[in-house]
Amino acid sequence: MAFFLCLDDTASKGVEAKAIFSLLDMEGNSVSSHSFTTRVVNFSEERSWGYSEFMKRGSLEKSEYLKDDCFKIRIDVSVIADFHAEETPLIVVPPSEMHRQFGDLLLSKQGVDVEFQVGKKKFDAH
């Protein structure tokens, strides 16, 4: 058996892509011994890419993956494309005043929800 990924003849320009060819068991899970990943292929230079000897016919016929003369295969294709992110505006974050705010909370005792007693001393906490 052979499987190939081919660029459609009507495409105006080539693309770069890679593929994973996987034989599936009857539940749809990939069979690791029959799962192959191509290298990244530039389809402007090569119009097809794949595996001419994916699996021998006799091996498939003797396997548990052939049922009622049918088998499942999955081909995952990743197209490599140029990505140009738009420049995001610069956001100025003001300096933190958290240390002052926590100090104010402790001094004011506003919102105290816990009181610790160590020996004869009591400490309020948040």
Share of the chain above pLDDT 70, in %: 87
Higher-confidence position of 14 and 46: 46
CATH no. for 3-80: 2.60.210.10
Q: Give the pLDDT band of residue 47 (cuts 50, 70, 90).
A: confident
Predicted local confidence at residue 82, as pLDDT: 64
Higher-confidence position of 13 and 37: 37
Q: How far apart are CA 20 and CA 44, in angstroms?
A: 20
Task: Please give the average per-residue pLDDT across 16-42, as a whole number.
Answer: 87
Predicted local confidence at residue 123, as pLDDT: 75
Domain boundaries, the chain: 3-80
Q: How far apart are CA 60 and CA 43, in angstroms?
A: 30
**Cβ distance 26 to 65 under 8 Å?**
yes
Q: How far apart are CA 23 and CA 65, in angstroms?
A: 8
Q: How far apart are CA 126 and CA 123, in angstroms?
A: 10
Predicted local confidence at residue 14, as pLDDT: 67
